[in-house]
Every structure is written in C-alpha cells, then in structure tokens.
Copies of this chain bind each other. A is one copy, B any other.
Amino acid sequence: MMHSFIELAGIFETKFNIRHFPEHTPSLYDPAQYILQLGGKRVRPVSVLMGNELFDEINPDAYDVAAAIELFHNFTLIHDDIMDKAPVRRGLATVHTKFGDSTALLAGDVMLVKCYDYLNRIKSPSFHRIIQLFNTTAAQVCEGQQLDMDFEKRDSVSFDEYVNMITLKTSVLLAASLQLGAILSGTGEGNRQHLYEFGKHLGIAFQVQDDYLDAFGDPATFGKQVGGDILANKKTFLMIHALEVADSASRVKLQQLMTDNPADKVEQVLEIFKACKVDEWANELKEKYLQTALQHLEDIAVISKRKEPLKELALYLIQRNR
C-alpha cells in the first residue's frame, strides 16, 4: 500500500523527533538539536521515502538516508544564516543569534558529520553509489551558495546563470532526495534519471513561485515580508527578466531605484514589473518547469497509480498560497 505525502511526513517525524546528539557537551549539541525542533515541512526527507515507495515497499535504509538528508538541509540553514546574518528563522532566533557565530559554525560542522553516521548505517549494496550522490549533491549546494554570494557583487546576472545557481543551491537536493530513494529500490538508471529530473524541475518551478510571491504574494498568507527581495536588491527571476525586456528608460529607472533606495522603492519596482508583464511571464515560466517535471514523472516506467502521491506533492508545492 502506498502512502500520501502527509502520511509519510507523519511516519518520518515520529522517527526523526529524537535527540540526534550525545547528552554530553551540551554547549555544542544543544544548539545543533535546537534547529531541528524549529520544524519545517520535511519535504526533502519525505521525498526520499516517496522516491523509494514509487518502485517498491519502503526499504528500512530509506529512513536513515532521509534523516541524513534532513540533517544536511539543517546544516546548510545554520551556515547560510551565519553568512546572511539572518536574525530569525521560522519565527524564532537563528542558531548563531542564540548561541553565537562560532558555536553555530561548529554545530553545523558536527551536524554534517552526523549525516554520514546515518548514511553509514545503510545495509544496501548500493552503499557507495548513495554516498557518491550525497557527496556530489552536498558539493553542488555549497557551489550554489557561493555563486549566490558572487552574484550579489555583480551588476548583472543572466537568466541562464540564475537558473544554474538556483538549481545548485536548492533544486539538486530535492532531486537527489528522490533519486536516493529510487537507488534503494534497485530500479534502473532510466527511472532514476527521470525521477531526478522531475525533482530538479519541480525545484526550479518552486523557486520561480517563491520569487513571484515575494513580489506579488498576499501579505496575509506569504510567510515572509512581501517585497523583501526588492528591498535587498536581489537578482530574482523577476528582476533579471525585467532588466532584459524593459525599454531603456525603465531599465535605467530600475537601476536607479536599486541605487537610491527611495521609501516607495517596492511600489515603483512593482509598477515597472507589471508594465513589463513580468508577473504573467513568471507564471508561464513556472508552468513550463512544472510541465517538464510532470513529463519526467510520466516517463518513469512504473504503473501510473504509483505516481499519484508524487504528482500530488508537486501540485501541493507549486500551488500553495495562490
């Protein structure tokens, strides 16, 4: 019997909601444990379980891989929050705000080591392949974060460069989570690859939506401050496209707004966005990535009934807050 995302999230949470670290040296391990209790949708670890169950009953190894993935994701959050000097996450103080930068750095480090403790429990003969995919993905996430910082210092970023950066920074982890589950099922290379591409394109679609909602979202339901990316001069999908398609007067105006930071900057930028029809373009772009993702799901050689939970997940992720 197959499970929905919500059911698997519940099963995962029951297993994951433990102390993952020793009781000793609480000055190191309490901060590491702290971020895990801030919650989150657990999309990535549940994707491991779903990628596994797409082909077969859940392999017990999948829970260890899922735990490793969720620990890895939280490790990146701790270190990213240090780099971004972010004070708050999910409504509570970030690790470095609560415990100091040095402890947050170390807590992240030890959490990354802990990932490999979980991976080392795997009994599957695909052990080496799993470690390899995990490592490749982990390095790509670091590359994506570095490129994101590099882009902040640059005047212009192309659409392709942004897609590449965002793919590395956020999409490959979702794609790899699904594929790790597939590897544990023993399914063939073709299926594994299609599932990876499903996750990758779904992740990009999700990012397009995130960028869209930052500009055009409903303040009542969008979790973050609407216009935050505009205030921070972030080169989002929307801004990159607007700079590409706007007439030269609007382009100059956009660049001026980013330099001058007037009080009504968000309103003025949004007006130009709308004049360039950036909102429509973003919705079409999201739809394009979503359709590509769904096509890859379609192309997986397994009866379509087994694909339902993943299809539901895709629609749930992409249509939230609309």
Known: A116-B116, A116-B131, A120-B135. A142 touches B82 (CB 8 A): no
A86 within 8 A of B: no
A 105-143 to B, binary, CB cutoff 8 A, 1 in contact else 0: 110111011101100100000001001100100110011
A233 within 8 A of B: no
A150 within 8 A of B: yes
Q: Tell whether, in the assembled complex, residue A149 and residue B25 are in contact, meaning their CB atoms are under 8 Å apart.
A: no
Q: Tell whether, in the assembled complex, residue B114 and residue A139 are in contact, meaning their CB atoms are under 8 Å apart.
A: yes
A221 within 8 A of B: no
Q: Which residues of B contact A145 (CB under 8 A)?
A: 106
Number of interface residues of A (CB under 8 A): 34
Q: Tell whether, in the assembled complex, residue B150 and residue A27 are in contact, meaning their CB atoms are under 8 Å apart.
A: yes
A17 within 8 A of B: no
Measured CB to CB, the nearest residue on chain B to A128 is: B120
Measured CB to CB, the nearest residue on chain B to A100 is: B149
Q: Tell whether, in the assembled complex, residue B83 and residue A102 are in contact, meaning their CB atoms are under 8 Å apart.
A: yes
A120 to B133, CA, bound (A): 11
Known: A103-B146, A103-B149, A149-B103. A109 touches B28 (CB 8 A): no
Q: Tell whether, in the assembled complex, residue B116 and residue A139 are in contact, meaning their CB atoms are under 8 Å apart.
A: no
A147 within 8 A of B: yes
CB of A5, distance to nearest CB on chain B (Å): 29
Measured CB to CB, the nearest residue on chain B to A112 is: B112
A194 within 8 A of B: no
A200 within 8 A of B: no
Measured CB to CB, the nearest residue on chain B to A122 is: B128
Q: Tell whether, in the assembled complex, residue B117 and residue A135 are in contact, meaning their CB atoms are under 8 Å apart.
A: yes
Q: Tell whether, in the assembled complex, residue A146 and residue B27 are in contact, meaning their CB atoms are under 8 Å apart.
A: yes
Q: Tell whether, in the assembled complex, residue B106 and residue A142 are in contact, meaning their CB atoms are under 8 Å apart.
A: yes
Q: Which residues of B contact A110 (CB under 8 A)?
A: 138-139, 142-143
A311 to B143, CA, bound (A): 43
Q: Which residues of B contact A105 (CB under 8 A)?
A: 79, 82-83, 105
A150 to B108, CA, bound (A): 17
A 77-90 to B, binary, CB cutoff 8 A, 1 in contact else 0: 00100110000000
CB of A132, distance to nearest CB on chain B (Å): 6
A144 to B21, CA, bound (A): 15
Most buried by B among A79, A82, A120: A120
Known: A103-B149, A106-B79. A120 touches B131 (CB 8 A): yes
CB of A163, distance to nearest CB on chain B (Å): 16
Q: Tell whether, in the assembled complex, residue B139 and residue A113 are in contact, meaning their CB atoms are under 8 Å apart.
A: yes
A150 to B106, CA, bound (A): 13
Instruction: State the 4 A-B residue pairs at the shortest beta-carbon distance, nearest first.
Output: A28-B146, A83-B102, A110-B142, A113-B138
Q: List 24 A-B contacts (CB under 8 A).
A: A25-B147, A27-B147, A28-B142, A28-B143, A79-B106, A82-B102, A82-B105, A83-B101, A83-B105, A102-B149, A103-B146, A105-B105, A106-B142, A106-B145, A106-B146, A108-B109, A109-B112, A109-B142, A110-B142, A113-B142, A114-B135, A114-B139, A116-B131, A120-B131
